A and B are shown apart, each in its own frame.
Chain A
Amino acid sequence: NAGVTQTPKFQVLKTGQSMTLQCAQDMNHEYMSWYRQDPGMGLRLIHYSVGAGITDQGEVPNGYNVSRSTTEDFPLRLLSAAPSQTSVYFCASTRRDGRYTFGSGTRLTVV
């Protein structure tokens, strides 16, 4: 099915570990973004990309890294996991009309 695919769906990390959250879309969308969702805070933008090779920071970028080598893939790297990064992470993509398609999310727990 066409859409945004995120892996893994669940992950538990120890403090200090690193990991990569994968995101892939097959809709040929230019724009891709990563959001985190915490209780009472809505979705907050971490990083975004307007095309292959172009990335920029969002509202809460600290502790995260991204790259966009292809149109399809936009991985999010946690460099050294901290308990404050416990959250649900959503990847999303769109052409240019703002109608984002969201992945099903990754629930990350850092202990």
Chain B
Amino acid sequence: EDKVVQSPLSLVVHEGDTVTLNCSYEVTNFRSLLWYKQEKKAPTFLFMLTSSGIEKKSGRLSSILDKKELFSILNITATQTGDSAVYLCAVEITGGGNKLTFGTGTQLKVEL
């Protein structure tokens, strides 16, 4: 059974802190790993990772994939209250439909 596990489940930090969110996976037919941010409504796309060791960056967010150890991390530096959200990790598998298997998410709260 395909499995995606995220940790921690939740955390509270202060503005300006740096956070690291973790995602490990066990799936067959791996194609890519994706990170989404979910505020009140629909998840919005952050990163897609397909190759090990290549960091993807977007502003204060960055992510990297390790296909040997089957995990990814999402880093957020200089956190702001607007970063408060649920961060979802998903693994895309091949074999019809490019289906996504999601982790349960990490709830991040950034306080002043």
- Where the two chains meet, the residues of A that have a C-beta atom closer than 8 Å to any C-beta of B are 4, 31, 33, 35, 40-45, 48-50, 56, 58, 90, 94, 96-105
Contact A45/B100 with A98-B34, A99-B48 known, Cβ cut-off 8 Å: yes
Besides A42-B103, A45-B99, 20 other A-B contacts (C-beta < 8 A)? A4-B42, A31-B98, A33-B99, A42-B102, A42-B104, A49-B97, A50-B97, A56-B96, A97-B48, A98-B31, A98-B34, A98-B100, A99-B34, A100-B34, A100-B45, A100-B100, A101-B45, A102-B43, A103-B42, A104-B41
Interface positions of B (Cβ within 8 A of A): 4, 31-32, 34, 41-45, 48, 88, 90, 92, 96-105
Complex interface: chain A residues within 8 A of B92 (CB): 98
Main DSSP-derived SS at the A contact region: strand
| Count of inter-chain pairs, beta carbons less than 8 A | 61
Given the known A-B contacts A40-B104, A41-B104, A42-B104, are A58 and B42 also in contact in the complex, defined by CB atoms under 8 Å?
Answer: no
Whole-angstrom distance between the alpha carbons of A99 and B102 in the complex? 14
Kindly list chain A residues whose C-beta atoms are within 8 Å of the C-beta of B31: 98
CB distance from A59 to the nearest CB of B (A): 8
CA distance A41 to B34 in the complex (A): 17
